Amino acid sequence: MKDSNKKYHSGFVSIIGRPNVGKSTLMNQMIGQKIAIMSDKPQTTRNKIQGVYTAEDRQIIFLDTPGVHKAQSKLGDYMLKIVENSLREVDVVLMLVDVQAGYGGGDQFIIERLKAITTPVILGLNKIDQVEPEKLLPILQEYMNLYPFAELVPISALNGNNVPRLLDVLAKYMPEGPQYYPEDQITDHPEQFICAELIREKLLHVTREEVPHSIAVMIERMKRKDNGHVEIGAVIYVERDSQKGIVIGKQGAILKEVGVLARKEIETLLGSKCYLELFVKVKKDWRNRDSLLHDFGFHNE
């Protein structure tokens, strides 16, 4: 609840980093509810996922950007453009690194782009629970030598260690401003988008390495019935006929498992019983076709 007698601070934070450093996990932890899909595969996040954290004296809006990687398709180019644009749109940049993996070329790629902005940059050192404490200081020093970060905060996004402190640090850089979103709103994405992302997450989980990031999911039908139940029809698009067989599985086993897992999370999200129908279609080489990228919601603006 906003206290009218206190100064209120609000602003925007872009979370950037190499693929698989835990950006989506961190945002879900800070927001307190799942709005960004999580996977152990790189490049899971394709769009900016806007998450909203609201407290009595502050509101922080997070942009969870795609992991920085070498683009190998038009989709990859689009994802890199999202990252670069986000650096100019926010009050604070949060660069997240994986202390277990250590410094890498992707970090250097990011730091070169940070040198072109004047926005304060906080360094989040993630996965501290997976390294010995005495090894943390040299890693911290290495990053400090590369860029003048405003502050450094060691955290574990997965179990929440030091995440409240990170929120306090970010809040220090928020200007005085309005409460942009109602206190119970956690994202500006429509339900259809989140449902499609949850289905895609389950596909990545169930198919493992068999189907890479050639999957797109579109919700074609979403209707709430008189009894409160929700009917959803979703289409899973792949690039090749062979991938269609993998996604469906023997006697439909894979598609059925994905449907069961996704439906459970969608019901939690929507707070009502859900009937979920999944279909699989082939769109040849969709990641390199501008018209299809646009249809799937990837707009290079």
Calpha distance 287→243 (Å, rounded): 14
pTM of the complete model beyond 0.75: no
Q: How confident is the model at residue 42 (pLDDT cuts 50, 70, 90)?
A: very low
Are residues 54 and 150 both part of a single domain?
yes
Domain boundary (172, 204, 227) is at 172
Calpha distance 84→86 (Å, rounded): 5
pLDDT of residue 271: 78
- What are the pLDDT digits (tens) for 232-245? 999 888 888 888 88
pLDDT at 122 exceeding the cut of 90: yes
Are residues 244 and 156 both part of a single domain?
no
CA diameter of the chain: 63
- Give the pLDDT mean for 130-143: 87
Are residues 56 and 154 both part of a single domain?
yes
Residue 247 lies in a domain: yes
- Give the pLDDT mean for 170-183: 91
The partner residues of 282 in beta bridges, in order of sequence, read 238
CATH number of the domain residue 96 falls in: 3.40.50.300
Are residues 152 and 207 both part of a single domain?
no
Domain boundary (110, 138, 172) is at 172
Are residues 144 and 56 both part of a single domain?
yes
CATH number of the domain residue 235 falls in: 3.30.300.20
- Give the pLDDT mean for 109-137: 88
Residue 183 lies in a domain: no
209 close to 268: Cβ distance less than 8 angstroms: no
Residue 286 lies in a domain: yes
Residue 186 lies in a domain: no
Residue 182 lies in a domain: no
- What are the pLDDT digits (tens) for 74-101? 555 555 666 566 666 789 999 999 998 8
Its domain, for residue 25, covers: 9-172
Are residues 166 and 204 both part of a single domain?
no
pLDDT at 39 exceeding the cut of 70: no
pLDDT at 146 exceeding the cut of 50: yes
Task: Average the pLDDT over each of 107-111, 204-208, 278-282 and give the range with the smallest value.
Answer: 204-208
pLDDT at 45 exceeding the cut of 60: no
Are residues 283 and 223 both part of a single domain?
yes
Count: domains in the chain: 2
Are residues 109 and 224 both part of a single domain?
no
Q: Alpha-carbon torsion 143, 145, 151, 154, what sign?
A: positive
Are residues 106 and 25 both part of a single domain?
yes
Task: Average the pLDDT over each of 134-138, 232-236, 266-270 and give the range with the smallest value.
Answer: 266-270
SS3 call for 139? helix
Residue 60 lies in a domain: yes
pLDDT at 57 exceeding the cut of 80: yes
pLDDT at 224 exceeding the cut of 50: yes
Residue 300 lies in a domain: no
Are residues 44 and 93 both part of a single domain?
yes
pLDDT of residue 97: 93
pLDDT at 72 exceeding the cut of 90: no
pLDDT of residue 82: 62
Are residues 141 and 209 both part of a single domain?
no
Residue 291 lies in a domain: yes
Domain boundary (106, 137, 172) is at 172
Are residues 25 and 168 both part of a single domain?
yes
SS3 call for 111? helix
